[in-house]
Structure 1
Amino acid sequence: MLKKHTKQEQAFIQKVRQTAGKAINQYQMIEADDKVMVAVSGGKDSLALLEILSNRRKGLPIDYELHAAHIITEDVPYQIDVDWLQSFCTELNVTLHLVTTRANLETAGKKKPCFACSRNRRKELFKLTHSLGIKTLAFGHHLDDAVETLVMNMAQHANISSIPASLNMFENKLKVIRPLTLLTNEEMKNYATLQGFQSLKRECPYEDHTIRLKARRIIDQMTSINPKARINIFNSMKKIDFEYLP
């Protein structure tokens, strides 16, 4: 996994790590002696997040405990290289938890398989953190995910909402955090490439990216008009001028 980098590449890696650290500090995501569970899907973002959070502990005057969780859904054709993931976690000094479950797609009714599976995985993650006494759950969503979700919710649900950087749930018994929230998809792709992270997962045939892909194309069109459009849309969520709304 170790590979030599040029000075320029080293500077980029450091920048990504510092940006994640900035988000953690800005939104007060992790404190001393916290127990943090990282949801690992097997994609590049969750692998990078786990590595960044592990590496970050080396340069801090405080320490926090890191765990990783991967949900294995038996009735969904979605697989990852579990042996590689275990080795990866051992190298990072992270405890890996594997949970086997079923999405019960045959009883999902009119709900799409992807929705039912995703909801079930979240449920299992919540149960696991609760059983282990872990109060912080980290997801690998980045800035592009937040912007796309905003556009989707506006178009589909007439609602201005997205995925928050930090969110307290279940009467403050669990805090959901997203340390990559200030980083773009392009930055995470480059980081994963430089670090040699490859997606461990085999694409699920039920996975439906149709609506998100359309939202992404809209954002790409806006970016062709203004290169800063993606960042501006993200920042606009913190600058809503209610006086000038209908």
Structure 2
Amino acid sequence: MQKRYTKQEQAFIQKVRQTAGKAINQYNMISADDTVMVAVSGGKDSLALLEILSSRRKGMPIHYNIHAAHIITEDVPYQIDTVWLQQFCEDLNVTLHLVTTKANLATAGKKKPCFACSRNRRKELFQLTHSLGIKKLAFGHHLDDAVETLVMNMAQHANISSIPAQLQMFENKLEVIRPLILLTNAEMKEYARLLNFQSLKKECPYEDHTIRQKARDIVEQMTSINPKARINLYNSMKKIDFEYLP
């Protein structure tokens, strides 16, 4: 039985979908007859991205194909409910690919397990999209992810950089897109709650949120001073006044 939404809830759901559509159009992420691979970790953001792209497709005058990929890493104690995910994708008319691999943490050397696992999952995603001839790979990163990454890179690497909405890779053979880039974490949480997306992820014991959490705390402190700080930080990356820098 389909859930009934209030007018306010319906308006919010529509706003989120329209904002994702705005990002897609602004950065020309998806065109007619494209095939898009969505990286599905099992968290709320990747599930929401999959649903938004699918629902958006129904009302578009153009058609595009959607595939989803989840990487199963055997030697990492992290699992999702793949049976639920398969049904979810079937309901959305999305082709699902489950890829099993190993992170080989024992041979990762000094690199942290989380880094080694993440790098391996990215490698598998790139190989899968290439083998299928798919040229667009979508991730569920949102505006908060971009702002936190900006703060982290400035503090850790003395570098002004973040996660772009759109990125050409491998000599333009693959395009990474992030349709949720204009949406906040709070908006994605509420969207997932309304559509009853339960996170399929189980926390990995290797996962370390320390640095990102500190960056998140800094952003929250700025937001307490100015409610617009989060969006201002994001927009500042497009408004760099070089003549007023050292």
Q: TM-score, normalised by structure 2?
A: 0.99
1:34 aligns with 2:8: no
CA distance in 1, matches of 2:49, 2:152: 25
1:229 aligns with 2:193: no
CA distance in 1, matches of 2:174, 2:201: 27
CA distance in 2, matches of 1:245, 1:2: 55
CA distance in 2, matches of 1:10, 1:231: 24
Within a 5 Å distance, the mapping from 1:73-88 to structure 2 comes to 73-88=73-88
Within a 5 Å distance, the mapping from 1:125-164 to structure 2 comes to 125-164=125-164
TM-superposition CA deviations, 1:27-77 (whole Å, max 9, x none): 000000001000000000000000000000111110000000000000000
Q: Give ranges in structure 1 of 5+ residues lacking alignment.
A: none
Q: TM-score, normalised by structure 1?
A: 0.99
How far apart are 1:114 and its partner, in Å?
0.1
Q: Give ranges in structure 2 of 5+ residues lacking alignment.
A: none
TM-superposition CA deviations, 1:137-186 (whole Å, max 9, x none): 00000000000000000000000000000000000000000000000000
Aligned pair count reads 246
Q: Which amino acid aligns with 1:174?
A: L
CA distance in 1, matches of 2:196, 2:220: 27
| Partner secondary structure for residue 70 of structure 2 | strand
How far apart are 1:2 and its partner, in Å?
3.0
Divergent runs of 4+, >2 A: none
Kindly indicate whether the alpha-carbon contact (under 8 Å) linking 1:2 and 1:195 is maintained by their aligned counterparts in 2.
Answer: no
Q: Which amino acid aligns with 2:236?
A: S
1:45 aligns with 2:45: yes
Q: Which amino acid aligns with 1:25?
A: N
1:181 aligns with 2:191: no
CA distance in 1, matches of 2:75, 2:182: 35
Q: Which amino acid aligns with 2:49?
A: L
1:238 aligns with 2:238: yes
How far apart are 1:133 and its partner, in Å?
0.3
Kindly indicate whether the alpha-carbon contact (under 8 Å) linking 1:35 and 1:136 is maintained by their aligned counterparts in 2.
Answer: yes
State, as a whole percentage, how many aligned pairs show the same letter. 85
Kindly indicate whether the alpha-carbon contact (under 8 Å) linking 1:105 and 1:113 is maintained by their aligned counterparts in 2.
Answer: yes
CA distance in 1, matches of 2:121, 2:4: 37
Match of 2:108 in 1: 108
Question: RMSD of the TM alignment (CA)?
Answer: 0.6
